Amino acid sequence: MARDPRYDVLFEPIKIGPVTAKNRFYQVPHCTGLGWLRPRMVAALRGMKAEGGWGVVCTEYCSIHPASDDLPHPYASLWDQGDIRAHSIMTELVHEHGSLAGAELWIGGARSTNLFSNEVAMDVANLPNSVGIPYQARAMDKSDIRELRRWHRNAALRARDAGFDIVYVYATHHYLLSHFLSSKTNSRTDEYGGSLENRVRLVRELIEETKDAVGDRCAVAVRFSADDEGSDDDNPVTTEHREMLEMLAELPDLWDINIQDYSHEMGVSRFIKEGSLEAHMSYVKSVTTKPVVTVGRFTSPDAMVSQVNRGIVDFIGAARPSIADPFLPKKIEDGRIDEIRECIGCNICYTGDSMGTPIRCTQNPTISEEWRRGWHPEKIPPKGSDSNVLVIGGGPAGLEATRALGRRGYHVMLAEAQHTLGGRVSLESELPGLGEWARVRNYRIHEIQNMHNVDVYFDNLMDVKHVLAVEANHVVIATGASWLADGRGLYNKTPLDELGPPEQVFTPDDIMAGRLPEGPTLVYDDDHYYMGNVIAELLRSKDIPVTLVTPKVMVSTWGDKTSEQGRVQRRMLELGVDIITSHTLIAFNGNEAEIECAYTGNRRNIEVDAVVTVTIRSPNDTLFHELQRSLEIGTDYKPNSLTRIGDCLTPTIIAGAVFSGHRYARELDTEVDPDNRMKYDRVFFEDE
Ligand SMILES: Cc1cc2nc3c(=O)[nH]c(=O)nc-3n(C[C@H](O)[C@H](O)[C@H](O)COP(=O)(O)O)c2cc1C
Ligand code: SF4
């Protein structure tokens, strides 16, 4: 299909200093949880973005020296020859597709504890470690600043030698350079502190020195916050940072603009919508003639075009949209915008960096698997036989298995008990703020609808007899999981002795089915992610008084990994939810709930009319086990395989279910070595 001419502007080449990007699609720096630890995995991941049409593809934050080490978060590094070799795998793959490669040089300052390198962290002043590790960064003296400038220059030269086309000065995200800029952290009395001119001095020096070192061949970009500390979502404050931008306006070749509040810049869709940085940064193009890029979880080509045409940006920056769909630019170029796999704003991708593990994505199960499993997000090998496949259950796992099997060319029969597809995704996307999660379902339904080899049977609650009657070659059970209603979970290892009466006890399944409590309700959150607090929000919207009890020390502890915890806790407080942390639910008798302090064992009672238990889920695997038994006993027909996937195999996050369905489809009729299911990436040894 031809590209819609409305989107032509997105495909104009743009000059960035000495280099030219082939279009306006710019993958801004983002971590992968791979960094220097997994060079081939990360190179293949970046190469895939270039293949998918991104005109610029950047690294993650890339340490310039061992004095800036962020383990357990696997940053990239540009310390030595080995790093140059590792990065050049990426730059070659990116260049193969005519894209530019960018390296984000990073100095952590008080945010890096240096637990790997054991170097003492340095910053603008004597500062506490900003992630709460009981270390401090020492104040840099003039010779330290000179050393830092030398490290930065040498790292820029190594970036150039690794083949990068764009080299960053990274002056934001509360790392060292932003501490120099901020009047809150910069207490210096020398020429690097005090006035704005003094506070921008180091950034200015680094821009000039990077240009001097590599500027003949590489563009120099600066990542910079458009707003000041103290901004909020709706009221940007852009006084000091605007002045700083004006001072430095023409120095770099490109401005990569973000904002102070990371939980906004990279906000989950529950709180932050597409294009939300505009109010904070729309002035930037008026103070510089250099190209400007910003972010905003852009997945709509119309929103992108609007940003360009209204003169807000020159490039469309993207981290998450490029993770969810590395082929987003190509799909726009080919006039296939309805095939875009839109990011849902869940931030599961960020948990990879938070936990030091390879990046995963709810929408894109192939991310991180490009090299080690050879998975391509858009291509899948043709079927390995003429077998047909019966998939039972159209939730995220069943839908993804059906989609990917259908793409391989198998005849797929998808049986769904309900009248609609999507399973838990459809239900959960009806909860407050989670509407965009329906994209997981919508993308897959759209793909399946166009496949002649896929038949979907609605209102088909299958039992053993039905399954056997189909006589499919392969049977896949994807019947999901159900929330337990007995209080059992992470903290209560056994069911509660007293939890009733049943009509006053609810699970998330009840709530999502529309069975709601009446009167004051205790939501017991032993799941620690979104479900407990989203249900609390739903009940508050019905004016039901809510007490949220959790055994952990704060609400939604795992939400910390997705960068949403602070906003969740604030939302609960703003909604008037009474929060009780560090307590476990012990009993409920219909009038009172008994809770126990996780530390002292002290117990107390709370008067409530209802309890919602948000604990763990149990696989809906009865059909699987009954089928297995029937097949063991002996039946006339026997499928070649009977497999369970997704939450039916083991309940997990939606990303896990999608991955499970995808993996099943990929591996059907292929040889998978049971002892070595994937290639193992690791750091290269030096030759010498
Ligand atoms: C998984 C992940 C890792 C990130 N790592 C970095 C990083 O290493 N350096 C950086 O400057 N920004 C990083 N960011 C922030 C992004 O560059 C970007 O500003 C933010 O995600 C908003 O853009 P988006 O809405 O297109 O995702 C990261 C974001 C994500 C989602
Ligand atoms: S994990 Fe979620 S937020 Fe991250 S890219 Fe995928 S869909 Fe978007």
Q: What is the DSSP string of 105-154?
A: EE--GGG---TTT-PPPEESSSEE-TTS-S-EEEEP-HHHHHHHHHHHHH
Architecture label for domain 484-618: 3-Layer(bba) Sandwich (3.50)
- Cross-strand partners of 389: 412, 474
Closest approach atom of ligand 2 to CA 323 = 5
Q: Environment class of residue 93 by beta-carbon count within 10 Å: exposed (0-12), middle (13-18) or buried (19+)? A: buried
Tell me which residue has its CA closest to atom 1 in ligand 1.
350
Contacts of residue 379, Cβ cutoff 8 Å, sequence gap at least 6: none
Task: Check residue 674 and give its pLDDT.
Answer: 86
Task: Check residue 676 and give its pLDDT.
Answer: 86
d(C-alpha 640, C-alpha 77), whole Å: 48
The string of pLDDT tens digits covering residues 196-213 is 999 999 999 999 999 999
Dist. CA 562 → ligand 1 center (Å): 12
For ligand 1, is residue 62 a contact (CB within 6 Å)? no
Closest approach atom of ligand 2 to CA 655 = 1
Confidence of residue 47 (pLDDT cuts 50, 70, 90): very high
Dist. CA 61 → ligand 1 center (Å): 10
Alpha helices in 337-471 (DSSP H): 348-355, 396-408, 424-428, 439-449, 464-470
The string of pLDDT tens digits covering residues 443-454 is 999 999 999 999
Token pair, residue 29, equals 């720096």
Strands (E), 361-420: 388-392, 411-415
Domain ranges for the chain: 5-355, 388-480+620-667, 484-618
- Cross-strand partners of 644: 477
Closest approach atom of ligand 2 to CA 268 = 3
d(C-alpha 8, C-alpha 406), whole Å: 32
Q: What is the mean pLDDT of residues 525-540?
A: 98
Give percent of the chain with pLDDT exceeding 70: 99
- Cross-strand partners of 642: 475
Dist. CA 599 → ligand 1 center (Å): 37
Full-model pTM: 0.98
Q: What is the mean pLDDT of residues 161-172?
A: 98
| Residue 635 reports pLDDT greater than 90 | no
The string of pLDDT tens digits covering residues 555-594 is 999 999 999 999 999 999 999 999 999 999 999 999 999 9
Token pair, residue 589, equals 């008798």
d(C-alpha 343, C-alpha 331), whole Å: 15
Task: Check residue 687 and give its pLDDT.
Answer: 55
Cα-Cα-Cα-Cα dihedral sign, residues 291, 295, 298, 303? negative
The string of pLDDT tens digits covering residues 350-407 is 999 899 999 999 999 999 999 999 999 999 999 999 999 999 999 999 999 999 999 9
CATH topology of domain 5-355: TIM Barrel (3.20.20)
In this structure, which amino acid lies at residue 644? R
For ligand 1, is residue 51 a contact (CB within 6 Å)? no
Whether the Cβ atoms of residue 174 and residue 127 lie closer than 8 Å to each other? no
**From 7, 61, 175, 350, the catalytic residue:** 175
| Residue 668 reports pLDDT greater than 90 | yes
175 in catalytic set: yes
Task: Check residue 228 and give its pLDDT.
Answer: 94
| Residue 297 reports pLDDT greater than 70 | yes
d(C-alpha 98, C-alpha 49), whole Å: 11
CATH topology of domain 388-480+620-667: Rossmann fold (3.40.50)
For ligand 2, is residue 363 a contact (CB within 6 Å)? yes
Q: What is the mean pLDDT of residues 315-337?
A: 98
Task: Check residue 613 and give its pLDDT.
Answer: 98
The strand pair at 603-607 and 592-597 is best described as: antiparallel
Q: Is the peptide bond before 381 cis (omega within 30 degrees of 0)?
A: no
Backbone angles phi, psi at 167, to 5 degrees: -120, 130
